[in-house]
């Protein structure tokens, strides 16, 4: 077999090779999607307790926090809470929860705190 014949055979196989590569990539993408869906099916990031709390001026409040599960693991200890609540001043405030995780990178949960006068 001459070198010229070998080149022609390679050229004839090329479309089949391309098709095989495309099929493998599609199958891999589908398998990856379903694997990721299965791994994250029970994941959640939620506030524990009431989303809105009404308190009187000067009250004390102990926050119940939030719970986060990512890829089947409890990552609640990684949750950060930021608050602008002033318990001595009438107004509407919030507690913002965030967690530094690839799944919840830009996801926030809020608990709203309303401080009212005793007469209300």
CB 99 within 8 A of CB 45: yes
**Edge-to-edge order in the sheet of strand 66-70:** 44-47, 66-70, 73-74
DSSP-assigned states of every residue in 13-75: HHHHHHHHHHHHHHHHHHHHHHHHHHHTTT-EEEESS-SEEEEETT-------EEEEETTEE-
Quote the tokens at residue 26: 């599609």
Tens digit of each residue's pLDDT (9 = 90 or more) over 31-89? 888 887 777 778 899 999 999 999 999 888 899 999 999 888 899 999 999 999 999 99
Q: Is 93 exposed, middle or buried (0-12, 13-18, 19+ CB in 10 A)?
A: middle
Tens digit of each residue's pLDDT (9 = 90 or more) over 109-119? 999 999 998 87
34 and 48 share a domain?
no
52 and 29 share a domain?
no
Q: What is the mean pLDDT of residues 1-14?
A: 58
CATH number at residue 55: 2.60.40.10
102 and 58 share a domain?
yes
- Full residue range of the structural domain in which residue 49 is found: 44-116
Confidence tier at 19 by pLDDT (50, 70, 90)? confident
Confidence tier at 3 by pLDDT (50, 70, 90)? low
76 and 104 share a domain?
yes
CB 58 within 8 A of CB 88: yes
- The residues near 91 (Cβ < 8 Å, ≥ 6 apart) are 114, 115
């Amino acid at each position: 077999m001459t070198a010229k014949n070998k080149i022609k055979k390679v050229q004839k196989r090329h479309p089949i090779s391309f098709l095989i590569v495309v099929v493998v990539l599609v199958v891999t993408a589908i398998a990856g999607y379903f694997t990721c869906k299965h791994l994250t099916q029970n994941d959640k990031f939620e506030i524990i307790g009431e989303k809105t709390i009404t308190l009187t001026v000067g009250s004390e409040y102990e926050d119940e926090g939030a719970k986060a599960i990512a890829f089947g693991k409890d990552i609640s200890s990684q949750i950060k809470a930021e608050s602008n609540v002033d318990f001595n001043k009438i107004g509407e405030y919030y507690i913002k929860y965030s967690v530094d995780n690839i799944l919840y990178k830009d996801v926030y949960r809020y608990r709203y705190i309303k401080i009212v006068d005793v007469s209300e």
